[in-house]
Amino acid sequence: MLQQQLQTMLALQDEINTLVNEHWREQNFAWYRAIWVESAELLDHYGWKWWKKQQPEMEQVKLELVDIWHFGLSLELQQGSPEAVAEKMERQLSAKQPVAGGFRENLEAFTLNTLSTKQFDLVGFAQLMADCEMPFEDLYRRYVGKNVLNRFRQDHGYKDGTYEKLWGGREDNEHLAEIAESLDSAAENFSNQLYTALKSRYPGSQKDLA
Protein backbone atom coordinates (compact mmCIF):
# COMPACT_ATOMS: atom_id res chain seq x y z
CA MET A 1 0.00 0.00 0.00
CA LEU A 2 2.74 2.49 1.00
CA GLN A 3 4.83 1.84 -2.11
CA GLN A 4 1.76 2.12 -4.34
CA GLN A 5 0.85 5.47 -2.79
CA LEU A 6 4.43 6.70 -3.16
CA GLN A 7 4.49 5.62 -6.83
CA THR A 8 1.19 7.43 -7.43
CA MET A 9 2.44 10.67 -5.89
CA LEU A 10 5.80 10.52 -7.66
CA ALA A 11 4.08 9.91 -11.01
CA LEU A 12 1.70 12.82 -10.40
CA GLN A 13 4.61 15.10 -9.46
CA ASP A 14 6.50 14.06 -12.58
CA GLU A 15 3.44 14.92 -14.70
CA ILE A 16 2.92 18.38 -13.18
CA ASN A 17 6.64 19.21 -13.41
CA THR A 18 6.65 18.15 -17.07
CA LEU A 19 3.58 20.28 -17.70
CA VAL A 20 5.48 23.31 -16.39
CA ASN A 21 8.77 22.43 -18.13
CA GLU A 22 9.17 19.42 -20.41
CA HIS A 23 12.89 19.16 -19.62
CA TRP A 24 12.64 19.94 -15.91
CA ARG A 25 15.12 17.23 -14.86
CA GLU A 26 17.91 18.84 -16.89
CA GLN A 27 17.23 22.29 -15.45
CA ASN A 28 18.51 21.49 -11.92
CA PHE A 29 15.97 23.76 -10.27
CA ALA A 30 16.78 24.74 -6.67
CA TRP A 31 14.08 22.57 -5.07
CA TYR A 32 16.02 22.64 -1.79
CA ARG A 33 15.68 26.43 -1.69
CA ALA A 34 11.91 26.17 -2.08
CA ILE A 35 11.86 23.71 0.85
CA TRP A 36 13.90 26.12 2.97
CA VAL A 37 11.55 29.05 2.28
CA GLU A 38 8.45 26.91 2.87
CA SER A 39 9.97 25.74 6.17
CA ALA A 40 10.20 29.34 7.37
CA GLU A 41 6.54 29.88 6.48
CA LEU A 42 5.71 26.64 8.28
CA LEU A 43 7.41 27.85 11.46
CA ASP A 44 5.44 31.10 11.32
CA HIS A 45 2.18 29.12 11.27
CA TYR A 46 3.36 26.94 14.15
CA GLY A 47 4.53 29.92 16.18
CA TRP A 48 7.94 30.84 17.55
CA LYS A 49 7.61 34.38 18.97
CA TRP A 50 8.11 34.21 22.72
CA TRP A 51 7.05 37.84 23.21
CA LYS A 52 3.43 37.28 22.16
CA LYS A 53 0.73 34.68 22.70
CA GLN A 54 0.63 32.21 19.81
CA GLN A 55 -1.27 29.02 19.15
CA PRO A 56 -0.13 26.61 16.43
CA GLU A 57 -2.34 26.89 13.32
CA MET A 58 -2.26 23.15 12.73
CA GLU A 59 -4.34 23.13 9.56
CA GLN A 60 -1.96 25.65 7.97
CA VAL A 61 1.03 23.72 9.29
CA LYS A 62 -0.22 20.58 7.52
CA LEU A 63 -0.86 22.49 4.30
CA GLU A 64 2.72 23.78 4.39
CA LEU A 65 4.01 20.24 4.93
CA VAL A 66 2.13 19.18 1.79
CA ASP A 67 3.77 22.05 -0.13
CA ILE A 68 7.19 20.92 1.10
CA TRP A 69 6.35 17.37 0.04
CA HIS A 70 5.82 18.58 -3.56
CA PHE A 71 9.38 19.91 -3.67
CA GLY A 72 10.74 16.87 -1.83
CA LEU A 73 9.21 14.52 -4.40
CA SER A 74 10.78 16.61 -7.17
CA LEU A 75 14.20 16.20 -5.58
CA GLU A 76 13.67 12.46 -5.18
CA LEU A 77 12.64 12.16 -8.84
CA GLN A 78 16.03 13.53 -9.86
CA GLN A 79 17.41 10.16 -8.71
CA GLY A 80 15.39 7.93 -11.06
CA SER A 81 12.00 6.62 -12.15
CA PRO A 82 8.92 6.82 -9.89
CA GLU A 83 9.04 3.02 -9.40
CA ALA A 84 12.70 2.90 -8.35
CA VAL A 85 12.44 6.00 -6.17
CA ALA A 86 9.27 4.72 -4.47
CA GLU A 87 11.06 1.51 -3.48
CA LYS A 88 13.94 3.46 -1.95
CA MET A 89 11.61 5.86 -0.12
CA GLU A 90 9.55 2.98 1.29
CA ARG A 91 12.69 1.38 2.74
CA GLN A 92 13.64 4.66 4.43
CA LEU A 93 10.16 5.27 5.81
CA SER A 94 9.76 1.71 7.07
CA ALA A 95 13.18 1.50 8.73
CA LYS A 96 12.16 3.45 11.83
CA GLN A 97 8.91 4.80 13.22
CA PRO A 98 9.52 8.33 14.56
CA VAL A 99 8.20 9.38 17.95
CA ALA A 100 6.66 12.83 18.40
CA GLY A 101 9.10 15.35 19.84
CA GLY A 102 10.05 19.04 19.69
CA PHE A 103 8.60 20.35 16.44
CA ARG A 104 10.59 23.60 16.23
CA GLU A 105 13.92 21.92 16.88
CA ASN A 106 13.13 19.08 14.48
CA LEU A 107 12.10 21.57 11.80
CA GLU A 108 15.40 23.41 12.22
CA ALA A 109 17.31 20.12 11.92
CA PHE A 110 15.33 19.23 8.79
CA THR A 111 16.04 22.66 7.25
CA LEU A 112 19.74 22.46 8.14
CA ASN A 113 20.01 19.04 6.47
CA THR A 114 18.19 20.40 3.40
CA LEU A 115 20.56 23.34 3.05
CA SER A 116 23.75 21.37 3.72
CA THR A 117 22.97 18.48 1.36
CA LYS A 118 20.63 20.22 -1.13
CA GLN A 119 18.62 16.99 -0.96
CA PHE A 120 15.32 15.96 0.61
CA ASP A 121 15.61 14.79 4.22
CA LEU A 122 12.86 12.17 4.05
CA VAL A 123 13.51 10.83 7.56
CA GLY A 124 13.44 14.37 8.94
CA PHE A 125 10.17 15.03 7.12
CA ALA A 126 8.64 11.86 8.60
CA GLN A 127 9.66 13.18 12.02
CA LEU A 128 7.80 16.45 11.39
CA MET A 129 4.70 14.48 10.39
CA ALA A 130 4.91 12.53 13.64
CA ASP A 131 5.30 15.77 15.61
CA CYS A 132 2.09 17.06 14.01
CA GLU A 133 0.21 13.75 14.40
CA MET A 134 -0.21 13.65 10.63
CA PRO A 135 -0.51 10.06 9.37
CA PHE A 136 0.84 9.18 5.93
CA GLU A 137 -2.71 8.53 4.70
CA ASP A 138 -3.56 12.17 5.47
CA LEU A 139 -0.48 13.37 3.58
CA TYR A 140 -1.44 11.18 0.62
CA ARG A 141 -5.03 12.44 0.49
CA ARG A 142 -3.99 16.08 0.82
CA TYR A 143 -1.16 15.80 -1.71
CA VAL A 144 -3.22 14.04 -4.37
CA GLY A 145 -6.02 16.57 -3.86
CA LYS A 146 -3.70 19.55 -4.27
CA ASN A 147 -2.03 18.01 -7.32
CA VAL A 148 -5.36 17.24 -8.99
CA LEU A 149 -6.61 20.76 -8.30
CA ASN A 150 -3.46 22.30 -9.78
CA ARG A 151 -3.84 20.16 -12.91
CA PHE A 152 -7.56 20.93 -13.13
CA ARG A 153 -6.88 24.67 -12.93
CA GLN A 154 -4.25 24.43 -15.69
CA ASP A 155 -6.64 22.45 -17.90
CA HIS A 156 -9.45 24.97 -17.45
CA GLY A 157 -7.84 28.29 -18.25
CA TYR A 158 -5.81 29.19 -15.14
CA LYS A 159 -2.89 30.43 -17.24
CA ASP A 160 -4.96 32.67 -19.53
CA GLY A 161 -7.18 34.00 -16.73
CA THR A 162 -10.46 32.37 -17.76
CA TYR A 163 -10.62 29.89 -14.87
CA GLU A 164 -13.37 30.47 -12.29
CA LYS A 165 -12.10 29.92 -8.76
CA LEU A 166 -15.47 30.52 -7.07
CA TRP A 167 -18.24 28.01 -7.71
CA GLY A 168 -21.59 28.65 -6.08
CA GLY A 169 -20.09 31.03 -3.55
CA ARG A 170 -17.30 28.65 -2.47
CA GLU A 171 -13.66 28.39 -3.53
CA ASP A 172 -12.54 25.43 -5.59
CA ASN A 173 -10.38 24.06 -2.76
CA GLU A 174 -13.47 23.83 -0.55
CA HIS A 175 -15.24 21.77 -3.21
CA LEU A 176 -12.12 19.62 -3.47
CA ALA A 177 -12.00 18.94 0.28
CA GLU A 178 -15.66 17.96 0.28
CA ILE A 179 -15.24 15.60 -2.68
CA ALA A 180 -12.09 14.02 -1.23
CA GLU A 181 -13.89 13.18 2.00
CA SER A 182 -16.60 11.33 0.03
CA LEU A 183 -14.16 9.13 -1.92
CA ASP A 184 -12.01 6.14 -0.98
CA SER A 185 -8.43 7.42 -1.01
CA ALA A 186 -7.18 3.80 -1.04
CA ALA A 187 -8.59 3.30 -4.54
CA GLU A 188 -5.90 3.05 -7.23
CA ASN A 189 -7.77 5.57 -9.39
CA PHE A 190 -8.34 8.03 -6.53
CA SER A 191 -6.78 10.93 -8.45
CA ASN A 192 -8.90 10.22 -11.55
CA GLN A 193 -12.05 10.05 -9.44
CA LEU A 194 -11.21 13.40 -7.88
CA TYR A 195 -10.61 15.02 -11.26
CA THR A 196 -13.85 13.64 -12.73
CA ALA A 197 -15.88 14.78 -9.70
CA LEU A 198 -14.36 18.27 -9.88
CA LYS A 199 -15.19 18.50 -13.57
CA SER A 200 -18.81 17.49 -12.96
CA ARG A 201 -19.19 20.35 -10.47
CA TYR A 202 -17.26 23.02 -12.34
CA PRO A 203 -19.60 25.59 -13.94
CA GLY A 204 -17.23 26.03 -16.88
CA SER A 205 -17.74 22.35 -17.79
CA GLN A 206 -21.47 22.93 -18.04
CA LYS A 207 -20.84 25.84 -20.43
CA ASP A 208 -18.75 23.54 -22.63
CA LEU A 209 -21.70 21.13 -22.86
CA ALA A 210 -24.22 23.85 -23.70
Please give the full DSSP string across 128-157, using - where no structure is assigned. Answer: HHHHTT--HHHHHHHHHHHHHHHHHHHHTT
Instruction: Name the percent of the chain lying above pLDDT 90.
Output: 51
Distance, in Å, from the CA atom of 56 to the CA atom of 207, rounded to the nearest integer, reads 42
Kindly report, residue by residue over 20-38, the tens digit of the pLDDT: 888 999 998 999 999 999 9
Instruction: State yes or no: pLDDT of 182 exceeds 60.
Output: yes
171-179: long-range pairs with CB below 8 Å, 24+: 172/198, 172/202, 173/149, 175/201, 176/145, 176/148, 176/149, 177/145
Judging by DSSP bridges, how do beta strands 166-167 and 170-171 pair with one another?
antiparallel
> Is 119 exposed, middle or buried (CB count within 10 Å of its CB: 0-12, 13-18, 19+)?
middle
Close Cβ partners of 184 (under 8 Å, ≥ 6 residues apart): 190
pLDDT tens digits, one per residue of 10-24: 999 998 898 888 899
Q: Domain limits of the chain?
A: 2-133, 138-209
Class of domain 2-133: mainly alpha
Residue-level pLDDT at 86:
93
Average pLDDT over residues 142-162: 88
